[in-house]
Amino acid sequence: MNSRMRWFVASLGAMLFAAPEISAAQSAARYTLTGAITDATGAAVAEAEVTVIVAAADSVRLRSDGAGHFRVDGLSKPAVTVRIRRLGYQPKVVDITMKNEPIVIVLDANPAELGTVKVQEAAMEHDERLRDFYARKGTNSFGHYFEQSDIERRHPQYVSELLRTIPGVTLGPSSRGGFSVRLRGCAPLVWLDGVRVPNAQLDELAEPTDVAALEVYSSFAGIPAQYFDRSANCGTILVWSRAK
C-alpha cells in the first residue's frame, strides 16, 4: 500500500471514530427552564398546573410553588411549548425559546358567571299575601297602606294608632283593651289573613309587632273583590300578620 492509500485509510478511520463522539456530545446537551406565574396585577399564582411540551411524546408536568415559581431541568431542546392551567384563570399556551433567563407568564382571570339573581323584599318572596298587598299599594289609590317599615318607624303601642292619620277615623276607649276604631262613625269590617272576623276590634287581633302589613278602605271603593262585603258600610280593614 502506497503512502497516499495509507493516508486515506487513516483519515477515514479517524472520521468513523470521531462521529459517535460528536453525536454523543450533541445528545448530552440539556436545558433548564425557570419561570413564574402571575396574574394581571403581578400577584403570584400558586399551584398552577404547568406542562412543558418538548415533542408530541415528550412532556413534563408540574405545579408552581407558593410563590408562583417553577423549574424544569434536563430538557432536550431549547424550544418548548408551555401550557398553564389554574382554576379561576383562563388557560394559556405559549411557545418559549430558552435564553438562560427566567420567564414570566401572566394569566388572565376567568371569573365564574352567575345566573341572573332576582332580588325581592323577603316578605314578598316568601308570602304571596304580601305580594298582593304591594301590588295593590302600587296601583289602588282608594286604600291606605301601612307596611312593616311604617309600623316600626311609628312604633305604636296599639295597631289602631296607625289609623289616626286617615280622614274619617276616630279612636275611642275599648273595654277589650286598646282602642275601638270608627270609620265615618261606625265599626268597619276586619279581616285577618284573608279571614273575616265578625265583631272584632282591631287591637284584639294583633299586636303591632305581629303585623306585617295593613290596608284600610274607608268605603266600598277599591276593596279587593275577594274581600268585598255589602255589609261593609263603614269600610274594611285588612290585617296581614308576619309569617311564623
Q: State the DSSP string of 111-151.
A: PPPPPP-----HHHHH-HHHHHHHHHHHH-TTEEEEEHHHH
| pLDDT band (50, 70, 90) for residue 119 | very low
Classify residue 220: in a domain, yes or no: yes
Write the CB contacts of 119 (distance below 8 Å, at least 6 apart in sequence).
none
| 187 shares a domain with 93 | no
| 201 shares a domain with 90 | no
| 129 shares a domain with 207 | yes
> What is the domain-level CATH number for residue 100?
2.60.40.10
| 195 shares a domain with 133 | yes
User: What's the confidence (pLDDT) of residue 20?
Assistant: 46
Q: How far apart are CA 105 and CA 83, in angstroms?
A: 10
Classify residue 29: in a domain, yes or no: yes
| 223 shares a domain with 132 | yes
Q: What is the mean pLDDT of residues 137-163?
A: 93
Residue 20: which H helix or E strand, with range? helix 3-28
For residue 8, pLDDT over 70 is answered with no
Domain endpoint, select from 79, 106, 133: 106
| 18 shares a domain with 65 | yes
For residue 115, pLDDT over 60 is answered with no
User: What's the confidence (pLDDT) of residue 124?
Assistant: 43
pTM over 0.75: no
User: What's the confidence (pLDDT) of residue 244?
Assistant: 61
Closest CA to 201 of 187, 219, 215: 187
What mean pLDDT value characterizes the chain?
82
- Percentage of the chain beyond pLDDT 90 is 46
User: What's the confidence (pLDDT) of residue 3?
Assistant: 55
Neighbours of 186 (CB within 10 A): 9
Strands 189-192 and 195-196 turn out to be antiparallel
For residue 149, pLDDT over 80 is answered with yes
- 205-223 residue pLDDT tens: 888 998 999 999 999 999 9
Classify residue 127: in a domain, yes or no: yes
Q: How far apart are CA 147 and CA 63, in angstroms?
A: 57
Classify residue 208: in a domain, yes or no: yes
Higher pLDDT, 136 or 28: 136
Cell output for 161: 294608632
Q: What is the mean pLDDT of residues 50-65?
A: 85
User: What's the confidence (pLDDT) of residue 28?
Assistant: 62
Flag the least confident range among 53-57, 62-66, 106-110, 234-238. 53-57
User: What's the confidence (pLDDT) of residue 57?
Assistant: 67
| 132 shares a domain with 69 | no
Cell output for 66: 407558593
For residue 182, pLDDT over 90 is answered with yes
Strands 92-97 and 189-192 turn out to be unpaired
Classify residue 144: in a domain, yes or no: yes
Domain endpoint, select from 106, 130, 156: 106
Write the CB contacts of 154 (distance below 8 Å, at least 6 apart in sequence).
161, 162
Flag the least confident range among 8-22, 64-78, 128-142. 8-22
| pLDDT band (50, 70, 90) for residue 7 | very low
Cell output for 127: 308570602
Q: What is the mean pLDDT of residues 158-168?
A: 93
Domain count within the chain: 2
Residue 164: domain span? 122-241
